[in-house]
Chain A
Amino acid sequence: MMKSDFIRKPLALPSDDWVQAPLAFLGGPSIIPEDVRKTNFPIITKEDVIQMLISIQQDGEQVVDEFKETYRNYVGANYAIATASGTSSLHLALVGAGVQPGDEVIVPAFTFIATAQAVVAAKAIPIFVDIDPITYCLDPLKAEQAITNKTKAIMPVHVHGLPADLPALRHLTDKYSLRLVEDASHAHSASIHQQLAGSIGDSAGQSLMADKNFPVGGEGGIAFFKEKEDYERALAFLDSSGIDYRMSWIAAAFGLSQLSRLPYYDAIRARNAAYLTNALSETKLFSGPFVPDGYKHSYNMYRVKLSPERLGLEDLEDYLIKDAVQQLINSEGVFAREWQNVPIPGHLPFKNRKGFGNGYPFTLSDRQDFGYDLNHFPETLKMLRNSLTICRELRTPIEYERIQAYALAFKKIDANPHIIRELVERGSDLKVLYERDARLG
């Protein structure tokens, strides 16, 4: 039987009265009833199917090349290599930028594990640096403090889709003769003063997997290079290492047709994010992401910050409040959650530093203390304790009435501080999130 993505039931038109109804957690009506919660992304249309039928009859390598060139042009990068995954694209971006075994690469403590694993794949040492408390991206001031004579590159992450402060980081890389490598995995179509993420650094890696704003068929990635020399160094590495990082033509074919709809999806995501941010500004407890002037956020994820003191809840543990809010908002039908619960230096691969086996490449470092203790990242810990993330639910170009409903759900929670207090005080043996086992995504 054909499985359809077609939405079978329309959402009810939202009404401000919903905010006054009892919380769904306590048995009241959910803002978004269970049978209309599902969102679909990527959206698959006849163009995708037809492109696939055409590509089947072409040489696979040509399909990948066509995809690579079309997307490279869109991003405005000089050179590109299509890859099997975002991790492999980051690995190539680092190697292309000249990262050698034993070099240090500065990365943010808050990211997906692939950022740091790509550094280890390049046989280099990831040096984690705390984030800026406002943008949640790598803090340039702390990055400067982490530079040693072994540092080769700084690899900021445009986390959730907000470009990192590349002008400040470029200043640093110029000052200390380092390379600037972007992890643009969250930042499709994001930009700084109209220059697209992926084309600003010396090189960049970007994931195109299913959970991204621009997904190809399942798994994929792309590496970008500014200089021909770096691009050629990456190609030479592929040859000398024997690694097969090629993208499947099936993924490329799917990417070709999806790319033509990317600007439309971007516009809807931006519209929805702006609506939600504005609505959250009318609440006391919640606020949306900060976007600096001239920066374009791509909203691969949307992080909601909680300010309990504005609701008179400052005497309670922030992470318990966050947990209570998560339960309440989930019952209303908005799947806000933790995305990452432990800073990456606290994940097992970096606690143990086994690397390729026998501790390599960490054994190339003279460092006794790798600086991976979680206490070195207070801003990341604070952010993890007091914020929640909306992922797929906003990545999808959702209907106007759905984004209105999301906003009402937050307003409904905001109107019930006493219930949040009750939930927290009811007692919980919940460990602070970064003391639990680390999970990916």
Chain B
Amino acid sequence: MGETLTKPEAVIQKENYFSLSFVLSRVLNSGVIMSIEKNDLELKGLEKGIAKLTNKKYVSLFNSYTGAIHGALWGQDLGYHTSARLDHPSEQEKKFIHWLGITLISDQHIKQAYVTVEVNWDNLQQLDQIIFKVSDRAPVLVLDFTGLGFGPVAAIAANDENIWKKAERLKIFGAFDLQTMWTQEESEPDLQPALQFNYRLSPLVAACVKLTLLRRNQS
């Protein structure tokens, strides 16, 4: 695949094999998480963990970093034919944002659209401090967990409920689609879905990230 895609530098470290084997076996045998159900505990659990970690009220999970960027922008009504400011976007971000039809600008009067924290095994112990430092620089915090090696996975965290709602609306089987699936009633008629991607995170991957975050200060 393309060379620009985010790729973890190291595979999972040996000392974590046992924990991961345990969690994956455990999650595999729980059955429930394998399906689209409202009791998707692993995803909810990870969302809660990230809310606590970032001290933000709302968290939305994505199956890739670019998905999370899309959620962060769409959540702020930044779509085709709009512009956004980003400090030091990567080549991949530039390409993706261009593909979305959004123009990058450098007007310092405008707050940057989001700020990213790349989470990997090297900075895991300092995560709280890193997040604290950058948290107020943008309305949305994007956490890229891809560097942990479980596969592409990211999240957005924000205090504005509307950002979260719109980002969820971007996802096929996001929070609102699931609601309609069970009740057959639009719960947010004023906030209607447009283009949707399946950015839904696998609960298995969510379980691994959740475990990693829970154990980060133990070693």
Q: Which residues in A have some Cβ–Cβ distance to B below 8 Å?
A: 2-5, 40, 42, 44, 48-49, 52-53, 56-61, 81, 84-88, 113-114, 117, 120-121, 209-211, 215, 217-220, 235, 238-251, 254, 341, 348-349, 352, 354-358, 360, 392, 436-441
Contact = CB atoms under 8 A, between A and B. Distances in A.
Contact of A348 (B35, B193, B199): B193
Contacts of B186: 348, 437
Contacts of A2: 29
Given A49-B28, A219-B201, A250-B202, A56 B195 contact: no
A56 B19 CA distance: 11
Contacts of B67: 244
Interface in B60-86: 63-67, 74, 77-82
B94 A248 contact: no
B31 A441 contact: no
Contact of A217 (B65, B101, B204): B204
Nearest to A59: B11
B96 A219 contact: no
A117 B197 contact: yes
A218 B21 contact: no
B173 interface: yes
Interface stretch (B50-58, B113-121, B147-155, B211-219): B147-155
A246 B31 contact: no
B66 to A, nearest CB: 5
B172 A250 contact: no
A60 B8 contact: yes
A5 B1 contact: no
B63 A219 contact: yes
Contacts of A247: 151
Interface in B132-177: 146, 149-153, 172-173, 177
Interface in B12-46: 12, 17, 20-21, 24-25, 28-36
B192 A248 contact: no
Contact of B101 (A4, A218, A357): A357
Nearest to B182: A439
A438 B180 CA distance: 7
A356 B205 contact: no
29 contacts: A3-B31, A4-B29, A5-B31, A49-B24, A52-B24, A56-B24, A60-B8, A117-B196, A209-B36, A210-B36, A217-B205, A238-B5, A242-B95, A243-B96, A244-B6, A244-B146, A244-B152, A248-B63, A248-B205, A250-B205, A254-B204, A349-B192, A352-B192, A352-B194, A354-B192, A360-B80, A360-B101, A436-B184, A439-B184
A49 B22 CA distance: 10
A-B residue pairs, 3 tightest by C-beta: A357-B79, A248-B151, A218-B202
Nearest to B181: A439
Contacts of A121: 195, 197
A251 B192 contact: no
B200 interface: yes
Contacts of A246: 1, 5, 64, 151-152
Given A341-B184, A439-B180, A440-B172, A242 B66 contact: yes
